[in-house]
A = this chain, B = another copy of it.
Amino acid sequence: MTASSVLPSRKHKVVVIGSGNWGTTVAKLVAENTRGHPDLFEENVQMWVYEEKVTLPKDSPHYDASVGDEPQKLTAIINKCHENVKYLPKIALPSNIVANPSLQDTVKDASILIFNLPHEFIGNICRQIKDHILPYARGISCIKGVTVTDDNIELICEYISESLGIYCGALSGANIATEIANEEWCETTIAYNTPAGDVHHAANGVANDSDNGAAALTEYKDARGRTSKNKLTPVPGDYPSLDHHVLQSLFHRPYFTVSMVSDVVGVSLGGALKNIVALACGFVEGHGWNMTAKTAVMRRGMLEIITFGREFFPETIEEKTFWEESAGWGDMIVSCTSARNWRYSKMAVERGVSLEEIEKTELNGQKLQGISTTREVCGFLRAKGVESKYPLFMIVDRILDGTVNVEDIPELLRK
């Protein structure tokens, strides 16, 4: 294969769907990179914002006396002040982020769609954009989570792929949004199994120079290694190849080290299932056990995540993703020592109240993702009759049920 390439005449248009704490942070770093790589990307990054009205307090640096206390549109504030005052306050955003309240307008002509919003919204979002995206658009899901019913488990990026008929990879790692927004150093992992037709060399650059989907559709392997029933429209040859190099250029920053892998399953499962383990660690620590016990729980949890991957994604799972990547052990450690599910499960045990109570009093009714993940995954494991292979997961489920006490965790795991 010759590596000589035709000079691309077009650039990738990148958009971010979602503008919470994490969505805005990712938009920030991506917008810094589109500006830094004018050869690869259009400079402006559209960011879809669920429109709401915000009243700026008088002591805000963005307070405008001529507007006064009149509530303003969040998109208007972001585009004028370059700050997401509601979800990522006090962080200056690059001026090439364009907040857009229209989902359809945001995704129009975009070749790279970055999904970053609470996972319960993804179904609705995909339905709304399905007929408005480019046929050769590609996705990166920053959404941690899996969709589990008693019958089936589906990765978020699989769901996006299937419902939109495009290829979608996943980003996950030992990441805390506000720290990254403050440009404190950390690492992440992007899993992307580049579809063959998206890499352009001179030969197929010529053969594949259409932007209207006229290029030959290509088969691709889905996350489970199956040839997808949907064929894929290749990225046209007049764009830069959409491969690991381009994605790294889009996400890597001096404060955000990106490692590229192909194992979409490993990265997605690690990001979703670690929340079950984080709950367990919060329980154990809240009960007064020390770091060595908590570490033992983390180790057991990691082994169960890998058992899960081997059992339900045997064709494509790569164990080394869990061991070596930020999306594996890295994310596990951070989630079990500094993140949300751990913090509030610890608090629940320390105060002797239920997690539902904590959600009410501390989280203003917001839900802890680890709880639904535990419920769904354990229901699925019971339906499959394999729960005995997952003692830690099942213990967390039974603690949530109130049928097991936290102090029984080591006893149940000691075998």
Contacts and interface: CB of A to CB of B under 8 A. Distances in A.
Interface stretch (A28-36, A65-73, A180-188, A220-228): A180-188
Q: How many copies of this protein are present in the complex?
A: 2
B296 A330 contact: yes
A358 interface: no
Size category of the A interface is 35 or more
A292 B186 CA distance: 5
B324 A176 contact: no
Contacts of A255: 410
A291 B331 CA distance: 10
Given A174-B292, A184-B290, A185-B289, A337 B334 contact: no
Contacts of A330: 295-296, 298-299
Main secondary structure of the interface of A (DSSP, over half): helix
Contacts of A333: 291, 295, 298, 333
Interface string A286-330: 000111110110110011000000000000000100111110011
A334 B295 contact: yes
Nearest to A255: B410
18 contacts: A174-B296, A176-B290, A176-B291, A179-B290, A184-B292, A185-B293, A185-B414, A186-B292, A186-B295, A187-B295, A187-B296, A187-B299, A257-B413, A291-B338, A295-B334, A298-B333, A299-B326, A323-B323
Given A185-B289, A187-B295, A187-B296, 8 more contacts: A174-B292, A185-B414, A186-B293, A186-B295, A257-B296, A291-B337, A299-B329, A302-B329
